[in-house]
């Protein structure tokens, strides 16, 4: 059964911001299936859904669209009001609400005097029903929200659209985003020819003149190697010649000596006593040796005199 009173109730809900069909159907006491069926019939032009809305006869579905536009206007008004005057934010502490203090009762220090004057002993604010009032703080709206609304209202505050220009290697200018041509996979791909092999510069390796400053360092001028060298072939081995036998049997015991045997070590030379008439083998190195050599010379003189 089609009830036009519910249609007007739905328009009132949508204009207040309740635009979800599921919530509207629940508020009207009907199923979502019936609510969506009404919308479908009204969009098809069913005459049973013609209503008077804003002084004009129209389909109920069209009236819902107008009511949605009214809700959007309400939203814009809320944003403008919030951007200009800020918004109230409820304060919480440890997950619970913070109650607002009564400015008059808070000025009285004695709790008994507060109660005598009709206030709460803790000095908290209550409403007309005696319920506590949550503490709210007015805050400013975000700066980005304010700028966005100002730019929407005033064209001179809007940002100028910039165009990205890309210059390729050939000097052509492409404006915006370039899109590659769609590849055609129905034909065989064209394989480009290989690039030309680079030709290296031939450097003359022959030296005709040598810098005199570098002649001692570089040495004689190198001569090119002879090209008419004939390599004699190796003689073929004689089949009648047998390989020579090893100098000792293969299975002979091999002794590896790690150190020289004591009997192989040469005995140290026996020091020869220096004769009294022999001259020192070297010159004196210091004053002490010079004194000793002088005394040795005196002793030699005395010995030669006694022998003579």
pLDDT of residue 181: 75
- Look at the pTM and tell me if it is higher than 0.85: no
**276 Cβ contact partners less than 8 Å away, ≥ 6 residues apart:** 299, 300, 303
Q: For 248-262, write each residue's pLDDT tens digit.
A: 555 555 656 566 767
Specify the range with the lowest mean pLDDT, choosing from 13-17, 50-54, 231-235.
231-235
Least confident of 74-83, 195-204, 223-232, 288-297: 223-232
Two tokens, residue 265: 């070590």
2 neighbors 51 (Cβ within 8 angstroms) = no
What is the C-alpha to C-alpha distance for residues 289 and 296, in angstroms, rounded to an integer? 10
The ranges assigned to domains in the chain are 4-86, 90-139
Whether 222 shows a pLDDT value over 70: the answer reads no
Q: What percent of the chain has pLDDT over 70?
A: 66
- Compute the average pLDDT of residues 125-140: 92
Mean pLDDT of 123-133: 91
Report, as an integer, the average pLDDT of 104-118: 91
Range in 63-67, 73-77, 110-114, 274-278 the model is least confident about: 274-278
Residues 20-30 have a mean pLDDT of: 92
Question: Do the beta carbons of residue 132 and residue 125 sit within 8 Å?
Answer: yes
**For residue 305, what is the enclosing H or E element?**
helix 287-307
- Mean pLDDT, the chain, rounded, equals 78
pLDDT at 95 over 70: yes
Give the integer Cα–Cα distance in Å for 118 and 121.
9
Tens of pLDDT, residues 61-70 = 999 999 999 8
């Amino acid at each position: 059964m089609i009830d036009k009173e519910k249609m007007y109730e739905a328009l009132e809900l949508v204009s207040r911001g309740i635009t979800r069909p599921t919530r509207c159907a629940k508020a009207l006491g009907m199923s979502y299936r019936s609510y969506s069926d009404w919308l479908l019939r009204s969009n098809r032009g069913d005459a049973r859904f013609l209503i008077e809305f804003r002084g004009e006869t129209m389909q109920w579905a069209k009236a819902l669209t107008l009511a949605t536009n009214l809700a959007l206007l309400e939203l814009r008004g809320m944003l403008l009001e919030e951007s200009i005057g800020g918004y109230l934010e409820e304060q919480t502490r440890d997950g619970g609400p913070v109650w607002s203090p009564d400015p008059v009762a808070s000025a009285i220090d004695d709790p008994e005097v507060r109660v005598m004057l009709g206030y709460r002993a803790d000095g908290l604010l209550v409403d007309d029903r005696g319920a506590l009032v949550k503490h709210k703080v007015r805050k400013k709206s975000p700066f980005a929200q304010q700028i966005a609304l100002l730019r929407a209202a005033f064209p001179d505050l809007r940002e100028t659209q910039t165009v990205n220009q890309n210059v390729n290697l050939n000097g052509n200018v492409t404006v915006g985003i370039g899109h590659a041509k769609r590849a055609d996979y129905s034909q065989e791909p064209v394989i480009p020819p290989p690039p030309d092999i680079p030709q290296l510069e031939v450097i003359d390796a022959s030296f005709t003149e040598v810098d005199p400053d570098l002649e001692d360092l570089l040495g004689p001028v190198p001569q090119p190697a002879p090209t008419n060298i004939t390599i004699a072939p190796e003689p073929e081995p004689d089949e009648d010649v047998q390989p020579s036998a090893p100098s000792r049997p293969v299975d002979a015991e091999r002794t590896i000596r790690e150190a020289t045997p004591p009997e192989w070590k040469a005995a140290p030379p026996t020091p020869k006593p220096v004769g009294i008439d022999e001259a020192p083998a070297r010159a004196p190195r210091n004053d002490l040796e010079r004194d000793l050599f002088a005394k040795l010379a005196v002793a030699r003189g005395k010995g030669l005199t006694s022998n003579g």
